[in-house]
């Protein structure tokens, strides 16, 4: 009877150990899935934020290009008008009469206004050119940041794969609960993967 009771207790203990082991494995799997979902959500959020920033820079750049094209057209139209006024002024200067002197004063005011508008348009063009160059440099910087981000993610994945290989002395650290603790770089030597 005692042997039967001992056997029943051993079976119960083994069953309980098996259940605890399965429970721990399930908890570990759930934790890994949660971490994966959190990481994916973070990456999605980062991509969305970066795309939004890039889109706003592109919109600003497109708007400045359109404004620059309109300003160039205005400058060309004003240049043609000035040439026409110069021709008209030179023909009126040849005709000496009272009506031409009155017309000359009006033409001078018009010419001054046109020249002032031309100078303002030139200033706007310079501002647009500087803004275009700045937008291009921002796009280049954003492209470099994205590349660095991708390179860092690849390097982290490569290290993780290498660390999780069986037989690797770091695999215990990568899978243990204490692996989430931060360690100084002097105490932990990380094998370097080949960088692109």
98-to-61, 62, 102, 107, 110 alpha-carbon distances in Å:
53, 52, 7, 14, 19
* Domain edges within the chain: 19-150
Alpha-carbon span 114 to 78, nearest angstrom: 7
State the pTM of this model.
0.31
> Left (φ > 0), alpha (ψ -120 to 50) or beta: where does 29 sit?
alpha
Distances, alpha carbon 62 to alpha carbons 53, 73, 152, 153, in Å: 14, 17, 31, 32
Closest by CA to 129, choosing from 71, 68, 72, 75, is 68
- Phi and psi for 166 in degrees, rounded to 5? -70, 145
Contacts with 179 (C-beta within 8 Å, 6 or more apart), sequence order? 173
Q: CB of 140 within 8 A of CB of 151?
A: no
Backbone angles phi, psi at 176, to 5 degrees: -80, 155
pLDDT in tens, 35-88: 999 989 888 888 888 888 788 777 777 777 666 677 777 777 777 877 777 777
Q: What is the pLDDT of residues 12-27, one digit of tens each?
A: 999 999 999 999 999 9
CATH 3.30.43 fits 19-150, yes or no: no
Question: Which residue would you say has higher pLDDT here, 106 or 14?
Answer: 14
Categorize the per-residue pLDDT at 112 as very low, low, confident or very high, splitting at 50, 70 and 90. confident
Higher per-residue confidence, 150 vs 178: 150
Q: How confident is the model at residue 196 (pLDDT cuts 50, 70, 90)?
A: very low
pLDDT digits (tens, 9 = 90+) for 177-191: 544 444 444 444 445
């Amino acid at each position: 009877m005692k042997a039967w009771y001992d056997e029943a207790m051993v079976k119960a203990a083994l069953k309980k150990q098996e259940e605890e082991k399965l429970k721990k494995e399930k908890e570990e799997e759930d934790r890994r899935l949660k971490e994966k979902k959190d990481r994916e959500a973070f990456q999605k959020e980062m991509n969305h934020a970066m795309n939004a920033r890039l889109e706003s820079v592109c919109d600003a750049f497109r708007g400045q290009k359109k404004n620059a094209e309109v300003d160039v057209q205005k400058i060309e139209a004003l240049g043609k008008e000035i040439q026409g006024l110069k021709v008209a002024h030179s023909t009126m200067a040849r005709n000496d009469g009272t009506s031409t002197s009155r017309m000359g004063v009006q033409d001078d005011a018009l010419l001054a206004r046109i020249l002032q508008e031309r100078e303002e348009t030139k200033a706007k063009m310079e501002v647009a050119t500087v803004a275009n160059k700045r937008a291009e440099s921002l796009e280049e910087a954003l492209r470099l940041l994205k590349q660095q981000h991708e390179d860092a993610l690849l390097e982290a994945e490569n290290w993780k794969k290498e660390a999780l290989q069986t037989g690797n002395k770091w695999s215990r650290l990568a899978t243990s609960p204490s692996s989430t603790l931060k360690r100084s770089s002097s105490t932990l030597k990380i094998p370097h993967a080949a960088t692109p």
